[in-house]
Amino acid sequence: MNTNFLGLPIKQSKELSEMLNTLLSTYQIHYQNLRGLHWNIKGSNFFELHVKFEEYYNDAQEKIDMIAERILTLGEGPLHSFEDYIETSRINSAKNISNDNEAVDLIIKSVQEIVKLERPILHLAGEVSDDGTADLMTQFIAQQEKELWMLNAWINRQ
């Protein structure tokens, strides 16, 4: 079996990198959506959500960097153009959302899609003993599951 400098199988590392690039693209669109929500939110929940959305986009920015660096660690290159992000993302960009329920619903749906991307990455990483990628996905998923619970509680849906 051909392995890379990490001792991981080259074929599966390339596959993981492709999956991570889809996740990276999705996160980039999610990040931009969060920025837009932060800037445009209106109404009686403005102060609460304005701060929360900033927290979320700062977290997304950190995750974007971690994903890109993991792709590089696996020996591949991260996507880095908006064209690639739009083409590869599993979520769409959102425009002109200022309503609190609509904004939170968008985040819920986006995070659900992100988790759907992360679980197969976690599974494949586990199969090839890529502990670095598996650990990253485990941390992300645990945090996102809690966020989904809290967002659904806020919107009063579960």
pLDDT in tens, 6-65: 999 999 999 999 999 999 999 999 999 999 999 999 999 999 999 999 999 999 999 999
- Average pLDDT for residues 128-138, to the nearest whole number? 98
Does residue 18 lie within any of the structural domains? yes
CA 68-72-77 angle, to 5 degrees, is 80
Q: What CATH number does residue 68 fall under?
A: 1.20.1260.10
Does residue 108 lie within any of the structural domains? yes
Task: Give the Cα separation of 155 and 158 in Å (integer).
Answer: 9
**Domain interval for residue 134:** 10-154
The pLDDT confidence band at residue 131, using thresholds 50, 70 and 90, is very high
- Average pLDDT for residues 93-113, to the nearest whole number? 97
Does residue 1 lie within any of the structural domains? no
Total-model pTM: 0.96
Task: Give the Cα separation of 118 and 23 in Å (integer).
Answer: 7
Task: Give the Cα separation of 32 and 21 in Å (integer).
Answer: 17
The pLDDT confidence band at residue 157, using thresholds 50, 70 and 90, is low
Distance of CA 116 to the CA centre of its chain: 10
Report the domain count for the chain.
1
